[in-house]
Amino acid sequence: DREIPLFCPATLPVSASISFRMSLKSVNFWLGACRNSPYSSAWPSSFSYQLVISPLILKKQTRNLILDYITKPNSIILAVSPANVDLVNSESLKLAKQVDPEGRRTIGVLTKLDLMDAGTNALEILTGRVLPLKLGFIGVVNRSQQDIVGNKPMSEALKAEAEFFKHHPAYKSIAIRCGTPFLAKTLNNILMNHIRERLPDMKTRINTLIGQTQQELTSYGDPVLSGKGEHRSSLILKLLNKFANDFISSIDGTSREISTKELCGGARIYYIFNNVFGTALESINPCGNLSTQDIRIAIRNSTGPRPSLFVPEIAFDLLVKPQIQLLEPPSLRCVELVYDELMKICHNCGGKEVKQYPRLHAKLLEVVSDLLRERLTPTSDYVESLIAIQRAYINTNHPDFIGGGGAISDLVKRMERRRKEHEKHNRKTNNTSSINTHHPTLTNGSAAGLKDDPLDVLTISDGYKESTSSKDFAALSNGTSTPVNNSASWAQREGFLTYFFGSGNKPERTSLPEQQINRANTYNKSAIDIGELERKLAGVNLNGSYSEESHNLTEQEEMETQLIRSLITSYFNIVRKMVQDVVPKAIMHLLVNNSRESVQNRLVAELYKEDLFVDLLQEDENLASERQKCQTMLDVYKKAFEIINEAM
């Protein structure tokens, strides 16, 4: 709605012509003239308004305006047509037929029945023989222009209309179904019948809205309890218990508000233990950061200035402990992830009933957060101690540990398999070479240069090269020994730790065969050769580390390196399995279960204090406004429900 003031300056002519381009819309519009202006004395005594209206535009706008209403399926179409005009040309009936082709909700109204030509009548139309409509045609006689000018009362006009139908020879048989009163009664009956048909559905919908609104209002809390002092303590205790129960049920998986879109609560903690933490541990390579040079340096450093025929056991300890330390970061990260999930559970507890009191909700989060932080430190310390315990003592007597004998047996089998493959390859190569060059063929499947390959013969030391075979190593892996000179007692204990590491009772030199003693002496003499010493010193950098480019591994060094790798992998897998099992248990005991069991007592001890009630129960203003709106809508729905019950 807009009011347009018109101000006319004194220079305007006495008669003014103002043109408007009109547009029909379903809004109210009026034009007013304001004479309270400095130029009121210059205003003309009369205005001449000339409306310039395009017939095509006006017709289109009128049509669209009518269609906006009659296209609605619940509307009743009142098609008014003059009786003195052919019914085929009735615009109202054309529009009605367009949106209601079956004529189910169209009422035909015929006017100007008293102005029809003499000898003609509309009885065929009123009885539905020309154009059948479900609601029928009703004839009316309105006041004439002379009656309007003469201010004829409506009561007299209605009487005149009734007399017309009663005494008209064509309409007297249907006079009771003609006239304005009958039209009003018919429309009223149609409207009431339509309402009654829709009432059951409306009643059901309103009843549903009442239930939903009542539930929403309940979630906002009871304003009566928050205002009276005698109810504050019970309200605080109720909210504390609700928050604690929601926290516990979310962890246990018994919450009624469990999400179906993503893992949450206790299910997510399980996912962290089995998927995130387990995958992180499995992705650690036991020897991933250990190069061959690192292993060789560790072996050399553990022997000091003394030469050794055996791999020192301390080298294994030095190498495996840093590898065990690799398990600590994912373990501590697992603790942090569970802590974060508990904090997330805490923030989702309470619902609207608790959140309507912002200060209380903030205090609840603060208390539970403090509780979780208190449990985080001892949990992390315990997990760190688990890793430290494993590094403190390397238990090589563990039943699942592969042991020295087992490692040697596996290595012997692997090296023997590689040796056979190498010999097979050399036989094929030498056979082809002898055919082409007429060289003598090597017998017994061995090549002349095979002895130079590090894979041809598995050797622990030159002193044991001929006397120790794969059978001897297999016997070591089973906890037995191969008899040497029948008086040897150096292999009474199991496998690698007493033999290869040399940490147990070392073999007596006098029990060895004379041939082996001679070879050992030969090896020791060659070890102190000046040229050999200079060559080895050339492979040492200024910082004391070996250069891989200048130092090729001997047969014994290669086997020692592979043995160390095998032992590290075996022991690391044992520790990893233990950590994967114990860390989740420690987190559940020290962090999850402890917090779960003490959260309710902590909340009551920290917040159930009378001097805090007033401050904690300060209601959110926006929430109070929403509750008031909800209460108003609930009253409206209840009133509508009562009206429908009365109408039915």
pLDDT > 90 in the chain, percent: 28
CA atoms of 301 and 314, how far apart (whole Å): 10
Q: Are 255 and 246 in contact (CB under 8 A)?
A: yes
DSSP three-state, residue 459: coil
Q: Are 408 and 496 in contact (CB under 8 A)?
A: yes
Tokens of 586: 């420690």
DSSP three-state, residue 75: coil
Summarize pLDDT for 496-539 with one digit per residue, the tens.
444 444 444 443 433 444 444 344 444 444 444 555 545 544 55
Is the residue at 147 inside a domain? yes
DSSP three-state, residue 17: strand
Q: Are 43 and 29 in contact (CB under 8 A)?
A: no
> With b meaning 16 or more CB within 10 Å and e meaning fewer, what string describes 418-441?
ebeeebeebbeebeeeeeeeeeee
Of 107, 123, 131, nearest to 175 by C-alpha is: 123
Long-range contacts of 286-292 (CB under 8 A, 24+ apart): 286/323, 286/568, 286/569, 286/572, 286/573, 287/323, 287/565, 287/568, 287/569, 289/323, 289/326, 290/319, 290/323, 290/565, 290/568, 292/548, 292/553, 292/561
Of 209, 220, 210, 214, nearest to 622 by C-alpha is: 220
| 297 exposure class (CB count in 10 Å sphere: 0-12, 13-18, 19+) | middle
- Ranked by mean pLDDT, which of 5-9, 302-306, 311-315, 369-373 comes out on top? 369-373
Tokens of 578: 């233990």
Q: Are 64 and 25 in contact (CB under 8 A)?
A: no
CA atoms of 361 and 302, how far apart (whole Å): 61
- Ranked by mean pLDDT, which of 75-89, 422-436, 449-463 comes out on top? 75-89
Summarize pLDDT for 98-117 with one digit per residue, the tens.
999 998 889 999 999 988 88
Average pLDDT, the chain: 74
Q: Are 265 and 255 in contact (CB under 8 A)?
A: yes
Evaluate the CA torsion angle 533, 536, 542, 544 in order and state its sign.
Answer: negative
Q: Please give the residue range of the domain that contains residue 21.
A: 1-53
User: In the prediction, which pLDDT does 158 show?
Assistant: 92
Summarize pLDDT for 388-425 with one digit per residue, the tens.
999 999 888 888 777 555 555 665 666 667 777 777 77
User: In the prediction, which pLDDT does 408 show?
Assistant: 58
Is the residue at 580 inside a domain? yes
- Ranked by mean pLDDT, which of 17-26, 40-49, 345-354, 406-415 comes out on top? 345-354
pLDDT > 70 in the chain, percent: 68
Q: Is the pLDDT of residue 452 over 60?
A: no
CA atoms of 592 and 233, how far apart (whole Å): 29
75 and 44 within one domain: no
When divided into structural domains, the chain yields a total of 3
Summarize pLDDT for 59-71 with one digit per residue, the tens.
888 888 889 989 9
For the chain, the first-to-last Cα distance in angstroms comes to 40
255 and 159 within one domain: no
CB atoms near residue 547 (< 10 Å): 11
**Three-class DSSP labels, 297-356:** HHHHHHHCCCCCCCCCHHHHHHHHHHHHHCCHHHHHHHHHHHHHHHHHHHHCCCHHHHHC
Is the residue at 92 inside a domain? yes
142 and 240 within one domain: no
Strand ordering across the sheet containing 137-139: 77-82, 106-111, 137-139
Residue type, position 615, single letter: D
374 and 256 within one domain: yes
CB atoms near residue 56 (< 10 Å): 8
Tokens of 174: 């249907």
CA atoms of 573 and 337, how far apart (whole Å): 24
The helix/strand count (H/E) of the chain reads as: 24, 5
317 and 289 within one domain: yes
110 and 22 within one domain: no
Domain with 92 in it: what CATH number?
3.40.50.300
Residue type, position 45, single letter: S
Phi then psi for 545, rounded to 5 degrees?
-100, 155
Of 533, 481, 490, nearest to 509 by C-alpha is: 490
73 and 45 within one domain: no
Residue type, position 530, single letter: I
Tokens of 357: 């009191």
93 and 41 within one domain: no
CB atoms near residue 81 (< 10 Å): 23
Is the residue at 32 inside a domain? yes
Summarize pLDDT for 242-288 with one digit per residue, the tens.
999 999 988 988 877 776 677 878 889 999 999 999 999 999 988 88
571 and 588 within one domain: yes
Relative to beta strand 17-21, strand 77-82 is: unpaired
Is the residue at 462 inside a domain? no
Q: Are 299 and 314 in contact (CB under 8 A)?
A: no
Is the residue at 509 inside a domain? no
pLDDT level of residue 609 (50, 70, 90 thresholds): confident
CA atoms of 153 and 143, how far apart (whole Å): 10
Domain with 342 in it: what CATH number?
1.20.120.1240
> Nearest 10 degrees: CA dihedral of 448, 453, 458, 462?
80
CA atoms of 401 and 568, how far apart (whole Å): 10
> What residues have CB less than 8 Å from 240, skipping those under 6 apart?
364, 600, 603, 604, 607, 608
Q: Are 477 and 408 in contact (CB under 8 A)?
A: yes
66 and 36 within one domain: no
Of 151, 147, 150, 177, nearest to 162 by C-alpha is: 177
Phi then psi for 543, rounded to 5 degrees?
-85, 5
DSSP code per residue over 46-57:
--EEEEE--HHH
Q: Are 152 and 123 in contact (CB under 8 A)?
A: no
DSSP H or E stretch at residue 106 = strand 106-111
- The whole-number average pLDDT for the span 309-333 is 85
User: In the prediction, which pLDDT does 457 show?
Assistant: 34
Q: Is the pLDDT of residue 213 over 80?
A: yes
Is the residue at 226 inside a domain? no
Q: Are 493 and 504 in contact (CB under 8 A)?
A: yes
Q: Are 185 and 107 in contact (CB under 8 A)?
A: no
Is the residue at 169 inside a domain? yes
User: Domain boundary at 178, 199, 215, which?
Assistant: 178
45 and 64 within one domain: no
> With b meaning 16 or more CB within 10 Å and e meaning fewer, what string describes 19-52?
eeeeebeeeeeeeeeeeeeeeeeebeeeeeeeee
Tokens of 529: 């050769």
128 and 106 within one domain: yes
Strand pairing partners for 78? 107
CA atoms of 558 and 454, how far apart (whole Å): 8
Could you identify the residue written with the tokens 């006079």?
Answer: 175
